[in-house]
Every structure is written in C-alpha cells, then in structure tokens.
Homo-oligomer: A and B are copies of this chain.
C-alpha cells in the first residue's frame, strides 16, 4: 500500500500509482497525534486478542479518541488493518522493485514470479488475520487497496514478459489464489503446511505463465 493514510479520505484518486505518496496537504498536529495513538492502540489490541475480536469502540477508547475520529481517518475496520499492514508491505515492495534477484529485477520473469508468490504468501500467512480483515471487511475491499493495485501491476508485468495472453485476467487469478481467505482455508481448515502450499502455488504460477 502506499502510505496514504494521511489524506482526509483514502481511495480518492483512482489513477494513483502505488508508490511513495507522502502527507497530502498538511496534516494538522492534533490529527497526527491521534493517528499515532490509534495505530498504537490498534496494534496492541489486535496483537493481544486478534483483529476479529476487537471492536472499533475498544480501539477508540484505548486510543483516547472518539469513534468519529477513527472512522474519519481510516474509513472502516478494513482501512485500519490496511494502515497497520503498510509498513511490512512497503518493505516487500522495495525488495521487489530494487532488491536482489530472483525477487528483484534481473532474473527471468518466471523465476521472479515464483519468488514473488513465495514471498507474498509468507507475508500473508504472517499477518493472516490483519490481511483477512483488510480484504473482507467490506465487499470489494480487496481490489480497492493500493496493495492490490501494486501487486497486480507487478504480476501483470511479469506475465506479459513471459509472453502469455490474457495477462490481466491471469494476474487476477493468481492473486485470488493468494487472497487471505484462501490462504487461511489451506492453512487452517486443510491443515496444510506453508511450505507445501508455497511449492504447489509455484507450480500454479508457472502453469499460468505458460503461453
């Protein structure tokens, strides 16, 4: 995602490329203070009792802030999760854009794709309930996150480098396989271990990258 937790409402500019994008106009000092308080409180509460088990009232109370403030800034529960995921996600974005191959530039598209799948799967699994909330709190939430835009772009690029047709749709298919809900299903209900899911998905990625 793109760190744009600052602007009054997120998701305003459609065409925005998911890159840095700092403090839109000028964040008022009380707003900044409250933003930090909320993030800290949310992180603490989510870590303790799981994202799903925490109410927005609790976050607001714990942060010493009104509910209106919470919603003004983060939009909804999913937006709060997105904000918390920001940091980790940006780290992976950096590794993809400028890190070592095969994740970063310089390797074959197919190899980069496999590396991406493994890395992204790991990230999702490590923050499962946060990602789950960010993707399912509202219908259609998944495609609205800046993160999704970024990874979609990346996968489309790699697929077109590999020369397949239907690049857009295939990228969506691959990302759907990496959706939090799906990953949770494999890990929790099917009791698969992360390793095996990862290698099976690598196979899927390669199959999809075949012209």
Contacts and interface: CB of A to CB of B under 8 A. Distances in A.
Nearest to A202: B166
A174 to B, nearest CB: 8
Contacts of A140: 181, 184-185, 189
A139 B132 contact: yes
Given A172-B185, A172-B186, A173-B177, A139 B136 contact: yes
A211 to B, nearest CB: 9
> What class of interface size applies to chain A in its complex with B?
20 to 34
Contact of A176 (B132, B170, B176, B208): B176
Q: How many copies does the complex hold?
A: 2
A169 B166 CA distance: 22
A197 interface: yes
B143 A204 contact: no
A197 B172 CA distance: 12
A52 to B, nearest CB: 8
Nearest to A203: B166
A200 interface: yes
Contacts of A190: 168
Interface in A162-211: 165-166, 168-170, 172-173, 176-177, 179, 181-182, 184-186, 189-190, 192, 197, 200-201, 203-204, 207-208, 210
A201 B184 CA distance: 24
Contact of A208 (B143, B169, B182, B204): B204
A204 B136 contact: no
Given A169-B186, A204-B170, A181 B132 contact: no
Nearest to A182: B176
A35 interface: no
A142 interface: yes
